[in-house]
Structure 1
Amino acid sequence: MAKESFDKEIQFLRMLVLTSGAYSRQQFAERLGISVHTFDKTIRRLKDIAGTVKQQPAEDHNTAIHNMLRASYYESADPLLLFLFRSKSLKESESYRLSLLIAALQEQSLTPLELLDRCCEGIPEELALPDEKTIRSDLKYLEQAGVIRKLPGGRPSKYTANNDFVSLLSDEELSDLYAFVDVMANTQVPSVQGYLLRDSLKKALKRRQLPDGASDLFLYKYHYHSRILDEAHLYTIMQAIASRRKLSFHYFTPKSNQSYHSKNTNPLFARQSEGRHTEMLPLKVAYDHQYGRWYLLGYGSGRSQIAICRMEGITQLEESGVVSEDEYATRLAALERNTRYSWLVDMGRPVLVKVRFYNPEGAKRNFIKERVQLQGQWGEITEENDTSFLFEITVNGTQEIKPWLRSFGSSCEVLEPAPLRKEFIKEWKELAAYYEPVRKNIQLPHDGTA
């Protein structure tokens, strides 16, 4: 899949999830900055991929996207946002060929020529048949990826599926491993690799005819599933940081009316884009657990020089020139100075926040204090008594810490600064107004039922 197409389909899926079909075709195309024709072509492409992943007959492909968009508490992240990763960088012929090779090697050990015969028998008529060189290249790729392994011995070489890790596990160990991976994939970031591993283990459970018991044990899913779409850029960015390379990309801010801009080769069909071309030396990646957002922090060429970008607005990402270790260290030190007191990425004026937390009454464990100590970053508990404790922290601005404080509800009272306290008073008054009774003095039956 072309890089531009992958960017487009990431934004396409994100909008499908967020709007749940509220936009018309024209509105959707305008929001993405593409034509209605391109919209129709993209939806057909996604239906084909979804049908391949779900292994549905062709006549059912039209309903695949709609069924995958339906909210499911147990499988909400599978496979709606993952099937795109499975198809990334694979041509249609490659996906068929690799699938046939892996399936054949699951059954027995085979030579490259034997695998060539299997591929020629199984590939659809409309696709080009591979040659021996192509098969050997595919085998080398699968061996490097750890999917298959070459058996010891002379020529001709034989290959087999590399299933030792799973096949050596007992049924109980395999079930426990699946449950562990399921927990980690749904609670840790990044998680795309974890979801793909979970899928592989699920197939191993089915081959042994073992039940998938994890869904009975862990009844939760992460709320912000679209976060995993941003992981398409994450590894490119981390690689650029490690190699001290600059990045160039087209960026759309959260306030822009568009989220994508196609590369138009015909000037007659060129459209005005709301995004801007950005060049940056990437320095750090941050993740906001509160809202499920990824941030890229780096050194740009603008007036403020230190740049912060929401990863969901990044498209057409490419690596560019390399900088020296000295320059990288200088830029990183400047970023760390500016973000020293950032709750997440805010670089506003430092302010001291004082909060009174109230201990839970009658609870065996003080889960309020435990959570504050776990999530309170560099803040400190300065006073403590039987009913409450005082928490103090210096942060760059108060905007980013507000959601965390708000999540404690009545167990948290903001004392300082005064403007933040007033903001909370105003918010809680608004919430209280929502629960004012519509009718007063409602007479209930004597049995207490409405």
Structure 2
Amino acid sequence: MAKESFDKEIQFLRMLVLTSGAYSRQQFADRLGISVHTFDKTIRRLKDIAGSVQQADEQNKAMADMLRTSYYESADPLLLFLFRSKSLKESESYRLSLLIASLQEQALTPLELLDLCCEGMPEELALPDEKTIRSDLKYLEQAGVIRRLPGGRPQKYTAHNDFVSMLSDEELSDLYAFVDVMANTQVPSVQGYLLRDSLKKAMKRRQLPDGASDLFLYKYHYHSRILDEAHLYTIMQAIESRRKLSFHYFTPKSNQSYHSKNTNPMFVKPSEGRLTEMLPLKVAYDHQYGRWYLLGYSSGRSQVAIFRMEGITQLVESGVVTEDEHAAKLAALERNTSFSWLVDLGRPVTVKVRFFNPEGAKRNFIKDRVQLQGQWGVLTDEDEASFLFEITVNGTQEIKPWLRSFGSSCEVLEPVSLRREFIKEWKELAEYYEPVRKNIQLPDDGTA
């Protein structure tokens, strides 16, 4: 199957979500490093992609509808449709859709499917031959979409949806509700969203109401992480095959997040992205901020390197390294990150914190959470009021948000520098709640 790069579309839609339409066309183009003309072409391309994956009765739905102001109404992450269709050529997209739709109704042979495709394909698209149809059927069978029926020649194929068809209406509704929650809470989630959409179509065929949205309103906060999954599987494949990767990297502080590939030498401009080659070794996910990280060994600097996946564009695989070299680099990475709270490579420092137990609570949820999330930290000096938590980590930057989330139930004791940082932050927060005028009198109930 044909593969296409969506670096520009991914960065385009990421900015569209984050800025909520606050940029003008020119500002948007400058931020991406493209021209206004390319901006307009990208808008048209995304509208075509969105239209090609919608049902016939929904094709007039505007792309703006995917950016609703109500948080809970945005059931589908904006970028999910990039995973649905345009990894295929237009002719492949139409052909596979016809094959799957035909096999939903009855079992058919490759020649019968060839006739149906030739009748159903649009005039402007090339007609397939028998070899192409057999290749498509092999691909769909490997993907688990269809299955081959037992028996001799001619071989027959049918849609592989027995599991869903055997479920009762109540079981199908329960399964959809479960997948809907899991797709929004587990990592990665793209496959979960695709499964949810398939179940939704099955429910629609049975004319069952979609009641899950009435029961569950929780949605994951970081939809943009789904964009980074476009790179995730390429990276994981490179890790398994011990292949190096090269890409252009834009740091979070960069003024641009993409650079167009100009073919005219008169208009070539220097890119803000850094051309990087590395041996990928591990992928990490930060639940606190919804970020993917790529860890590996940088070829240029000959040391452990970490990249935020959202800044990676134009990702391609390159040479293969030996097993011994791969094992040595992986061991070096493990040594450098052995005390990383997430991916920090700073100098190891011991953090001591006193946590205060909740008063009057039937269960000590503070201690439960520290034991669950505290990684390799140790609990000591316990009494009825509090307990001490001690952990050695690479730097304090990554553990700070976790400690801060405990609020007044947590007091940082060591190191002194971290304690001073918390004191400064809490003083700044206290100032935000100072009255505008000193003579303002608050009501007795505490409301302003």
Q: Report the TM-score, using the length of structure 2 for normalisation.
A: 0.94
Q: Could you say which residue in structure 2 is the equivalent of 1:209?
A: 207
Q: Could you say which residue in structure 2 is the equivalent of 1:405?
A: 403
Which structure 2 residues correspond to residues 76-95 of structure 1 after superposition, within 5 A? Answer: 76=74, 78-95=76-93
Are the counterparts in 1 of residues 378 and 389 from structure 2 also a CA contact under 8 Å? Answer: yes
- CA deviation after TM superposition for structure 1 residue 134, in Å: 2.1
Distance 1:211 1:350 in 2: 55
Q: Could you say which residue in structure 1 is the equivalent of 2:193?
A: 195
Distance 1:216 1:438 in 2: 42
Distance 2:58 2:435 in 1: 54
What is the identity, as a one-letter code, of the residue corresponding to 1:402? Answer: K
- CA deviation after TM superposition for structure 1 residue 442, in Å: 4.9
Q: Could you say which residue in structure 2 is the equivalent of 1:8?
A: 8
Of 432, 435, 448, the match for 2:433: 435
Of 120, 133, 136, the match for 1:135: 133
- CA deviation after TM superposition for structure 1 residue 208, in Å: 1.9
Which structure 2 residues correspond to residues 32-111 of structure 1 after superposition, within 5 A? Answer: 32-55=32-55, 60=60, 63-64=62-63, 66-74=64-72, 76=74, 78-111=76-109
Which structure 2 residues correspond to residues 258-337 of structure 1 after superposition, within 5 A? Answer: 258-303=256-301, 305-337=303-335
- CA deviation after TM superposition for structure 1 residue 156, in Å: 2.5
Where structure 2 has 5 or more consecutive residues not aligned to the other structure, the ranges are none
Label 1:167 to 1:59 Cα distance change in 2 as closer, same or farther (>3 A).
Answer: closer
Label 1:446 to 1:231 Cα distance change in 2 as closer, same or farther (>3 A).
Answer: closer
Distance 1:389 1:180 in 2: 38
* Percentage identity across paired residues of the two chains: 88
Label 1:26 to 1:4 Cα distance change in 2 as closer, same or farther (>3 A).
Answer: farther
What is the identity, as a one-letter code, of the residue corresponding to 1:53? Answer: V
Distance 1:449 1:365 in 2: 31
Q: Report the TM-score, using the length of structure 1 for normalisation.
A: 0.94
- CA deviation after TM superposition for structure 1 residue 434, in Å: 0.9
Where structure 1 has 5 or more consecutive residues not aligned to the other structure, the ranges are none
Are the counterparts in 2 of residues 73 and 220 from structure 1 also a CA contact under 8 Å? Answer: no
Per-residue Cα deviation, 1:228-276 (whole angstroms, up to 9, x for no partner): 1001111111111111111111111111111112222221121210111
- CA deviation after TM superposition for structure 1 residue 111, in Å: 2.0
Distance 1:272 1:22 in 2: 27
Of 97, 112, 115, the match for 1:114: 112
Distance 1:53 1:178 in 2: 21
Distance 1:182 1:58 in 2: 22
What is the identity, as a one-letter code, of the residue corresponding to 1:13? Answer: L
Segment of structure 1 superposing worse, 152-161 or 353-362: 152-161
Label 1:414 to 1:150 Cα distance change in 2 as closer, same or farther (>3 A).
Answer: same
Label 1:168 to 1:281 Cα distance change in 2 as closer, same or farther (>3 A).
Answer: same
Q: Could you say which residue in structure 1 is the equivalent of 2:342?
A: 344
Distance 2:248 2:360 in 1: 54
Per-residue Cα deviation, 1:140-198 (whole angstroms, up to 9, x for no partner): 21111111112222332221101112112222322222222222211111111111111
Label 1:109 to 1:38 Cα distance change in 2 as closer, same or farther (>3 A).
Answer: same
Segment of structure 1 superposing worse, 50-59 or 305-314: 50-59
Label 1:362 to 1:245 Cα distance change in 2 as closer, same or farther (>3 A).
Answer: same
Are the counterparts in 2 of residues 4 and 316 from structure 1 also a CA contact under 8 Å? Answer: no
Distance 1:74 1:124 in 2: 38
